[in-house]
Amino acid sequence: MKTLTLLRRLLIALLIAGSCTAAGFVRADLGWAATKAPDFCESQVIYDYEWPLKHLTSRHRIPSSGVLPFAPRDTIINRVGFNRVSGWKQPFGYRFLIARPAYRSGALKRPLRLNWTVRSTLRRASRSGQPGRVLTSKRRDIGTVRYEKQLEFFVSAGPGIYRFDLSFEKLDGKRLGRYTEFFRVVPERVNARLVTNARTARLGEAIFSRVNNWGTTTFLVEGFFGQSGVERYDDGAWIEVLREPGPPLNITDTFIYGGYGGACLGFQVPSRASPGLYRFARRINPFGPAKARWLFAEFTVQP
């Protein structure tokens, strides 16, 4: 059940990411601290798993707009995922989004009549982009489309670099377009760290934390509704710290993809706080079989 729920959330996030820059990584609304957030909060990429693909280019890439010259005006094609890196056993490829009214069942009220032949081919590629043997090749004749899922072109493979080709023709054989993209599949690895911009803070000062994903597995940073997300060590136990007077924080769930840092969470040390040991606490839920876990980042409050 947990895996299915996370999968549903992940697919929604992946689709949003196709049309929103840095979806899921936007800095949180820090209120009083929004204009004081240090450079620590600005950088989103902490490790670029896409770098082996940077020099692999193609003259036949799908337009960044997702608009194909032969496709109906109310359809665009999107890459699945935030970038061209996919986890092992996770699907990668493309799907069309159709901007037409649909019934609750998902069926389009006005079906699309495309009459396309679509061929998809997956090859393993070298680091220089040279294609190897064909791993999978599929042909699909698409006449009338009633559901978006009829226009999904997904594949999956083990770790490595791959070349994925899509070609479109009319059913009578007339070529419409062909497109090529390179993808990288990486082993699943959970490596999450909760970090702060400083180890100490004084009364009245601000300190910031963020969750960094150094691994390859996407995970959910669970939101919370509470006072601060910060705890103080007192007499052998951790106790939540109250913020300065103000409304409780409402931090929403956030997906963080491999190699990215999450949103910053700021905390202003109350002017009357007791000096001592404090910590930020966040709970993450990795996608896949890995179990949920708590992350902590300690800091010291000085007078």
In the chain, where the domains are located: 2-46+188-302, 51-186
Instruction: Look at residue 88 in the predicted model and tell me its pLDDT.
Output: 83
pLDDT at 244: 66
For residue 203, the model assigns a pLDDT of 93
d(CA 12, CA 84): 17
CATH 1.10.390 fits 51-186, yes or no: no
Which CATH architecture best describes the domain 2-46+188-302?
Sandwich (2.60)
pLDDT of residue 11: 46
Q: Note the pLDDT of residue 249.
A: 67
Do 2-46+188-302 and 51-186 show the same overall fold? yes
Residues in the chain: 303
CA dihedral 273, 227, 221, 97 (to 10 degrees): -140
d(CA 58, CA 62): 10
Weakly modelled stretches of the chain, pLDDT under 70: 1-38, 227, 244-250
